[in-house]
Amino acid sequence: MLVRRIFLRWMFLAVVLLPLWPLLGWIIFDGNRNGWDFLGLLFAMPVLFVALLTVSLLFYGRAQVRRQRALEWADVAILAAWHISIVGFGFFGESMAVFGFLGIVIALGALWYGIWRLFREAALRTREAMAEFERLAQQQSGAPGNTAPRFDDDGEYIVIEERPRE
């Protein structure tokens, strides 16, 4: 549970820190290349920021995550793999292209996994709420099979007469 709670906090810190790492890595490990590489990084890092923020909000948007204040193990595994690929990319070594490709693939997988889990949990909660409404309606109607709403007549009513237009 401790690791899952740490990752919940880290996932929001990573939104800011991880896009800065490749920029810093370019300065430290790859400063002698041309400026076009740096210009590419300046374009890619805001995209990475938005992707990290979107996935973090999708994961945090689930009620179960907020209730437990911890991610699930599958969430931790996906985020760890994605964050490791981003850190590996920032070293600008011979395997930079592999880490970049893995980062993109894992990012797309994390996005779709987050959307799927959010909708799955929402559907489950909706089914539970509808079952509870049906149970309450059956209790109020008194009949086990009758789920139609019951209206009590208190004897007062209003009559509206319509006259045909001439």
Q: What is the DSSP string of 107-125?
A: HHHHHHHHHHHHHHHHHHH
pLDDT of residue 32: 63
pLDDT of residue 139: 86
With b meaning 16 or more CB within 10 Å and e meaning fewer, what string describes 64-80? ebeeeebbbeebbebbe
92: how many CB neighbours lie within 10 A of its CB? Answer: 20
pLDDT of residue 68: 94
146 found inside a domain: no
pLDDT of residue 10: 96
pLDDT of residue 138: 86
Per the structure, the complete domain to which residue 78 belongs is given by: 2-141
Q: Do 4 and 72 form a contact (C-beta atoms < 8 A)? A: yes
Supply the pTM of this predicted model: 0.78
- All residue ranges of the chain with pLDDT < 70 are 30-32, 142-154
pLDDT of residue 35: 77
11 found inside a domain: yes
pLDDT of residue 158: 79
Please state, in angstroms and rounded to a whole number, the distance separating the CA atoms of residues 73 and 81: 12
pLDDT of residue 153: 67
128: how many CB neighbours lie within 10 A of its CB? Answer: 10
99 found inside a domain: yes
66 found inside a domain: yes
Structural domain tally of the chain? 1
pLDDT of residue 148: 57
22 found inside a domain: yes
pLDDT of residue 151: 61
158 found inside a domain: no
157 found inside a domain: no
161 found inside a domain: no
pLDDT of residue 36: 81
